[in-house]
Amino acid sequence: MKFNKALVSLLLALVMLMTVSSFALADEALKIGVIGPFTGAAAIYGNACRYGAQVAADEINAQGGLQIELLAEDDEHDPEKSVNAYNSVLDKGAQMIDGTTTTTPCIAVGAQANEDRVFMLTPSASSMDVVNGKDNVYQVCFTDPAQGTASAAYINEKALGTKIAIIYNNADAYSTGIYQTFVDEAATLGMEIVSETTFTDETTDFSVQVTAAKDADADLVFLPIYYTPASMILKTAKDMDYAPIFFGVDGMDGILTMEGFDASLAEGVFMLTPFAADADDERTQTFVASYGALTDGEIPNQFAADSYDVIYALYEASVAAGITGDTPYDEACELLIEQFKTLEVSGLTGNMTWSEDGTVTKIPTSVVIHDGAYVAYAD
């Protein structure tokens, strides 16, 4: 009997040892905080980022090697709640952040993370204020000014229009920022801008702006604005039988999800975006399938793809820098900053490199809306 007891205790000890070591194994997973609005008005963006990140993490974990654990926290697109969410994921052991999704919270969290020395890579907060003055905050999306330059270059390269009209919101920093760089680049490239009109958040009637573009014989109207006013402009133009090419930027993303929106109004609308869900390369197809399986068949938008790339960029940089699940966040931060100087990631949204101010360099592509869906533009 005594022998049996000894055997049992030995067995128990063995079991304990194994449990401990399996805990230790789980600890080695790289812990990445994912912060964004999962509820509220901007939930469409936050959820896209969360599920996009999940698809990437699942793929990486299936490969074996360094594992990834995501710690997702809702910020409701509110700067204060976002800082709380950030503190909460740090408490849970996050070593770096995928986020935050939206700009205003990202500026607040970025300031805190800069003090704490936590590395942040945002999929979608596009303002320059997100990265300005912070050596530890990086972007996967284009900055607002870069969108204007890229749009002008794209329109010029593909010869989409010769006479260009611009309608922008002069009460909005996002819109005027893109407008300014667009005009500068257009001047450099010698493009002809025939009409520039403005509106504000309070504007209900867009007939003057659209008429001005029509009377100037513009064959392309550039809309560096959000989708709500854009939907009104499209309707006004249709009422006037005016059918130029409309060219939007990332603020246009979402126009097809407006409740009650007549998708035929948006037929042929161009949009500068790094991702088209119907692209026929294998990686995009796999991503769309995995994302659909995770979300009841939803089609991922560019935010999901950007967040997917965030996880891959963080993973590849961590592997290269030798960061493991045990590296403290401040140490990981300095290592990642060093890595991002030379890092090259080939992601869903293109081949990316980063400059030291935190902005990304990648080649913009564009989609065109056809039958209520985004289609890659082939000229």
Partner 1 sequence: MVSFLRFFINGISLGSVYAIIALGYTMVYGIAKMLNFAHGDVIMVGAYVSFCAMQYLQLPPALSVLCAMVVCTVLGVIIEGLAYRPLRQAASLAVLITAIGVSYFLQNMALLIWSSNPKVYPSVFSVGAIRLFDGELLITSETLLTIFANIVIMIALTLFTGRTKVGKAMRAVSEDKGAAELMGINVNRTISLTFAIGSALAAIAGVLLCSAYPTLQPTTGSMPGIKAFTAAVFGGIGSIPGAMIGGLLLGVIEILGKAYVSTELGDALVFAVLIIVLLFKPSGLLGKPVHEKV
- What's the min distance (Å) between Cβ of 205 and partner 1? 5
Query: For the CA atoms of the chain, what is the radius of gyration?
Result: 24
Give least dist CB 235 to partner 1, A.
6
How near is the Cβ of 292 to partner 1 at its closest, in Å? 22
217 sits near partner 1 (criterion: CB under 8 A): no
The residue (of 84 and 211) whose beta carbon lies closer to partner 1 is 211
The string of DSSP letters for 263-312 reads GGGGTT-EEE-S--TT--SHHHHHHHHHHHHHTTSPPP-HHHHHHHHHHH
Tokens 């059918």 locate to 243
Find tokens 């974990």 and name the residue.
Answer: 61
Q: What is the DSSP letter of 191?
A: P
Asked if residue 176 binds partner 1 (CB under 8 A), the reply is no
Instruction: Give residue 373's region: left, alpha or beta (phi > 0; psi -120 to 50).
Output: beta
Which of 19/207 has CB closer to partner 1?
207
Residue in 147, 123, 136 with CA at minimum distance from that of residue 46: 123
Amino acid at site 177? G
* 208 scored as a contact of partner 1 (CB under 8 A): yes
Site string for partner 1, 182-201 (x = CB under 8 A): ---------------xxxx-
Question: Given the complex with partner 1, which of 91 and 241 has the nearer CB atom?
Answer: 241
* Backbone dihedral angles phi then psi of residue 35, each to the nearest 5 degrees: -120, 130
Residue 70 or 255 with smaller CB distance to partner 1: 255
Site string for partner 1, 273-302 (x = CB under 8 A): ------------------------------
Of the candidates 40, 54, 151, the one whose C-alpha atom is nearest the C-alpha of residue 102 is 40
Site for partner 1 in 33-52 (CB under 8 A): 40-41
CA angle 229, 365, 360 (to 5 degrees): 95
Interface with partner 1 (CB under 8 A), residue from 4, 62, 64, 241: 241
Among 259, 280, 296, 371, binds partner 1 (CB under 8 A): 259
Per CB under 8 A, residues contacting partner 1 are 40-41, 170, 197-200, 202, 204-205, 207-209, 211-212, 215, 228-229, 231-232, 235, 239-241, 258-262
